[in-house]
């Protein structure tokens, strides 16, 4: 059954569809295309933009891998190397994984919960532009090689005005504050959507697991982003105006930066990780042909990981000389956090065990995720053991850990998601043969490239060195790593080719190519602009498998969707969502202007752009005359 398709008398249904089309379609003009608020278009835009940043960040890594291929190479100057690894880390951590996962979340959330839009469509357009602009802002630092060079966590005083007098670190601080606005706005949007716009009947316990992970991720952002913002504001105030926060001679303390950064940073790595597990929890049941084993436990484990993630930040600071009692506490907390991860791993294994596995491409990527995440997770637990961390911290062992969990897990989940949802987004399947080539190249390349990092780390190779001498037992590993890295890059490009080719030549997918269980498969591929002609009424967790869904009201009085209660998803009221307007774009440019003004020290630009921001905010929120009259409730 397809909820996008007609129910009831054909004539009346056609009239309904036409009316919805009039209400929801993006007009075919360039400006309309630019300022669209359609969560599907914006979601895809998010994904594509983040992917471009992925290629860019990947390219940076491939270049620095060349420099490290042999001992004592001189392909890059130390300046260039430091900028490359800093921007590689910063790009991947801030511009790739989170926006990519959010992109999927913005695309899928309304479809998964049976709504027509996100709660704040215009905010979504704004957060996209803010992300794009902040990303370009950060990347623009490469012009003239002024890119940030303090490492992705930018420890002060190395990043203070005294030791980093250039503009490099200003790109970093301002760019990340800018990006934070986008991320926070997007997260608030997700939370409200997931809590308030679920289809009638979709109580929290019937909600798909990807929604649980999106919800946890977004809530974590809401609370984790501000410490970073505070730290960055402090740093910028100290750099520009000599405020004192980190300078010990005047009462500051450089460790304050580390506490603030990692209080943000650890929740952040789970933000980059949890939605990936949520995706796996969608894909594995589909290709095991049975509902998720331990669904409730997995939902709880997701939330628990997010929560405990706020209490482990000091494991990044074991070697700073903090008292042993306090670091022991954080060591214990860090190990505890492995338990919810284990719950997830074993729930997936159990689902496969009790089901019947179909090895399609998304499933292959999911299986690689499970194995690679096991390795990456365990190396995390090893570093959580304090005396061992004193040996391996700041070595390639940690680099191995972070790539196994990020590249080998989060990014593999993203690839699984691309293969899984591409048919929904485009109506066409990705090519299987090319996909298999890509998959195996990526798996082999990844493990060849990153497994030796554990060994070279144990052999004492520190991270962030632009060169190293021969004779320490590091050279063979490094060569393998470089070869593996390039292989991995090649595998990534094969999927890019697949995505581009299948756009035209892929096999027709139909509404539900995988015979899956959740609501997004109950509508056309790609879905109509209004997602569901009839808001679905949900009665189970796997509605498309056990028939737990029925077509509900069509809601054609304006761009409507249903607002429902937070826990049980009982109807509260139909609400009208705003249509697109120019102000989202204007305001994005205005905010960009503020940050460019601050960067260049052109205060009047910053002030003028700030006033423009306020003005366009006022216009944005001024209700459309037609809506003022409408009654609520």
Judged by CB under 6 A, the chain residues 487 through 516 that form the site for ligand HEA are 488-489, 492-493
Of 15, 31, 34, 244, which lies in the binding site for another protein, with binding defined by CB under 8 A? 244
Distance CA 451, CA 374 (A): 13
Of 43, 57, 309, 355, which lies in the binding site for another protein, with binding defined by CB under 8 A? 355
User: Min. distance of Cβ 16 from another protein in angstroms?
Assistant: 9
Which residues are CB-neighbours of 212 under 8 A, at least 6 positions away?
278, 298, 299, 302, 303
Examine residue 291 and tell whether it contacts another protein (CB under 8 A).
yes
Taking CB under 6 A as the rule, which mask of x and - marks residues 140-179 in contact with ligand HEA?
-----------xx---------------------------
From 260-268, 292-300, 402-410, 613-621, span contacting Cu ion (CB under 5 A): 260-268
Strand partners, 462: 395
For residue 74, what are its two tokens? 């001189």
Interaction residues for another protein, span 490-529 (CB under 8 A)? 515, 517
Taking CB under 5 A as the rule, which mask of x and - marks residues 448-487 in contact with Cu ion?
----------------------------------------
Of 195, 215, 232, 272, which lies in the binding site for ligand HEA, with binding defined by CB under 6 A? 272
Taking CB under 8 A as the rule, which mask of x and - marks residues 586-625 in contact with another protein?
----------------------------x---x--xxx--
User: Min. distance of Cβ 511 from another protein in angstroms?
Assistant: 15
Examine residue 315 and tell whether it contacts ligand HEA (CB under 6 A).
yes
Interaction residues for another protein, span 249-278 (CB under 8 A)? 249-256, 259-260, 263
Which one, 230 or 382, has the nearer CB to ligand HEA?
Answer: 382
Of 266, 360, 401, 541, which lies in the binding site for Cu ion, with binding defined by CB under 5 A? 266
Q: Select the residue whose beta carbon is closest to Cu ion and give its number.
A: 266
Distance CA 292, CA 298 (A): 9
Residue 575, binding choice from ligand HEA, another protein, Cu ion, none, Cβ under 5 to 8 Å by partner class:
another protein
Examine residue 357 and tell whether it contacts another protein (CB under 8 A).
yes
**Count of positions on this chain that bind another protein (CB under 8 A):** 171
Interaction residues for ligand HEA, span 525-584 (CB under 6 A)? none
Examine residue 120 and tell whether it contacts another protein (CB under 8 A).
yes
- Picking from 409, 408, 403, the residue whose alpha carbon sits closest to that of residue 463 is 403
Residues in the chain: 633
Of 40, 295, 403, 563, which lies in the binding site for ligand HEA, with binding defined by CB under 6 A? 403
Examine residue 405 and tell whether it contacts ligand HEA (CB under 6 A).
yes
Which one, 336 or 581, has the nearer CB to Cu ion?
Answer: 336
For residue 463, what are its two tokens? 């991270």
| DSSP secondary structure letters along 25-81 | PPPSSHHHHHH---HHHHHHHHHHHHHHHHHHHHHHHHHHHHHHSSTT--SS-HHHH
User: Min. distance of Cβ 269 from ligand HEA in angstroms?
Assistant: 4
* Contact call for residues 554 and 534 (beta carbons, < 8 A): yes
CA 158 to chain centre: 29
Examine residue 132 and tell whether it contacts another protein (CB under 8 A).
no
Of 30, 387, 433, 604, which lies in the binding site for another protein, with binding defined by CB under 8 A? 387
Residue 144, binding choice from another protein, Cu ion, ligand HEA, none, Cβ under 5 to 8 Å by partner class:
none
Which residue's entry shows tokens 């697109």?
580
Task: Look at residue 377 and give its three-state secondary structure.
Answer: helix
**Cα-based distances in Å from 586 to 5, 30, 118, 213, 581:** 37, 15, 21, 32, 10
Examine residue 236 and tell whether it contacts ligand HEA (CB under 6 A).
no
Neighbouring C-alpha atoms within 13 Å toward the C-beta of 113: 39
Examine residue 401 and tell whether it contacts Cu ion (CB under 5 A).
no
Of 22, 30, 504, 631, which lies in the binding site for another protein, with binding defined by CB under 8 A? 631
For residue 144, what are its two tokens? 């003239």
User: Min. distance of Cβ 43 from another protein in angstroms?
Assistant: 19
Of 476, 507, 582, 607, which lies in the binding site for another protein, with binding defined by CB under 8 A? 476
Per-residue burial over 234-256, b if 16 or more Cβ lie within 10 Å, else e, is bbbebbeeebebbbeeeebebbe
- Picking from 266, 94, 185, the residue whose alpha carbon sits closest to that of residue 584 is 185
Distance CA 216, CA 190 (A): 10
- Picking from 87, 218, 238, the residue whose alpha carbon sits closest to that of residue 149 is 87
- Picking from 158, 140, 142, 162, the residue whose alpha carbon sits closest to that of residue 150 is 158
Distance CA 181, CA 131 (A): 9
**How many helices and strands (H and E) does the chain possess?**
23, 4
Distance CA 267, CA 449 (A): 27
> Under the rule (CB under 6 A), what is the footprint of ligand HEA?
54-56, 58-59, 61-62, 64-65, 85-86, 88-89, 92-93, 96-97, 151-152, 269, 272-273, 315-316, 334, 337-338, 341-342, 345, 374, 377-378, 380-381, 383-384, 389, 393, 398-399, 401-403, 405-407, 410-411, 449, 463-464, 481, 485, 488-489, 492-493
């Amino acid at each position: 059954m397809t909820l996008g398709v007609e129910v009831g008398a054909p004539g009346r249904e056609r009239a309904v569809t036409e009316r919805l089309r009039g209400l929801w379609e993006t007009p075919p003009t360039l400006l309309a295309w630019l300022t669209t608020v359609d969560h599907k278009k914006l979601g895809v835009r998010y994904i594509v933009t983040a992917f471009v940043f992925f290629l860019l960040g990947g390219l940076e890594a491939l270049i620095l891998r060349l420099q490290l291929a042999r001992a004592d190479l001189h392909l890059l100057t130390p300046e260039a190397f430091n900028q490359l690894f800093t921007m590689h880390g910063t790009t991947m951590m801030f511009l790739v994984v989170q926006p990519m996962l959010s992109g999927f979340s913005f695309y899928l959330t309304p479809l998964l919960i049976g709504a027509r839009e996100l709660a704040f469509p215009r905010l979504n357009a704004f957060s996209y532009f803010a992300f794009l602009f902040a990303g370009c802002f950060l990347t623009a630092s490469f012009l003239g090689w002024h890119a940030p060079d303090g490492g992705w966590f930018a420890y002060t005083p190395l990043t203070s005005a005294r030791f980093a007098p250039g503009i490099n670190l200003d790109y970093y601080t301002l760019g990340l504050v800018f990006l934070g606005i986008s991320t926070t706005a997007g997260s608030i949007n997700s939370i409200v959507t997931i809590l308030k716009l679920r289809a009638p009947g979709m109580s929290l316990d019937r909600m798909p697991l990807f929604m649980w992970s999106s919800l946890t991720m977004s809530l974590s952002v809401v609370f984790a982003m501000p410490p970073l913002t505070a730290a960055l504001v402090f740093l910028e105030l100290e750099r520009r105006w000599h405020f004192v926060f980190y300078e010990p001679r005047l009462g500051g303390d450089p460790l304050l930066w580390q506490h603030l950064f990692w209080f943000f940073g650890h929740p952040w790595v789970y933000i980059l990780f949890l939605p990936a597990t949520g995706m796996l929890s969608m894909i594995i049941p589909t290709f095991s042909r049975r509902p998720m084993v331990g669904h409730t436990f997995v939902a709880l484990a997701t939330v628990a990981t997010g929560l405990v993630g706020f209490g482990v930040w000091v494991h990044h600071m074991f070697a700073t000389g903090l008292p042993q009692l306090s670091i022991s506490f954080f060591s214990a907390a860090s190990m505890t956090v492995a338990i919810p991860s284990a719950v997830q791993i074993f729930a997936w294994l159990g689902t496969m065990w009790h089901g019947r596995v179909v090895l399609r491409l998304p499933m292959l990527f999911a299986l690689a995720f499970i194995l690679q995440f096991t390795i990456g997770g365990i190396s995390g637990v090893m570093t959580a053991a304090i005396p061992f961390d004193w040996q391996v911290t700041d070595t390639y062992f940690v680099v191995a850990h972070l790539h196994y969990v990020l590249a080998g897990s989060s990014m593999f989940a993203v690839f699984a998601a691309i293969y899984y949802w591409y048919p929904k987004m485009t109506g066409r399947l990705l090519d299987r043969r090319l996909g298999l080539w890509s998959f195996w190249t990526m798996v082999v390349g990844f493990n060849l490239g990153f497994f030796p990092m554990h060994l070279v780390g144990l052999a004492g190779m520190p991270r962030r060195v632009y060169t190293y001498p021969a004779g320490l037992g590091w050279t063979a590993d490094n060569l393998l790593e470089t070869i593996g890295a390039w292989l991995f890059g090649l595998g990534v490009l094969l999927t890019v080719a697949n995505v581009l080719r299948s756009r035209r030549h892929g096999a027709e997918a139909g509404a539900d190519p995988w015979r899956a269980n959740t609501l997004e498969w109950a509508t056309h591929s790609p879905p109509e602009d209004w997602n569901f002609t009839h808001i679905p009424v949900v009665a189970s967790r796997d509605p498309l498998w056990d028939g737990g869904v029925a077509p509900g009201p069509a809601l054609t009085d304006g761009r409507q969707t249903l607002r429902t209660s937070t826990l049980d998803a009982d109807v509260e009221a139909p609400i009208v969502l705003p249509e697109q307007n120019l102000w989202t774009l204007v305001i994005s440019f205005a905010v960009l202007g503020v940050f460019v003004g601050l960067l260049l020290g052109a205060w009047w630009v910053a002030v003028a752009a700030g006033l423009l921001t306020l003005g366009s905010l006022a216009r944005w929120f001024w209700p459309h005359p037609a809506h003022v009259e409408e009654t609520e409730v």
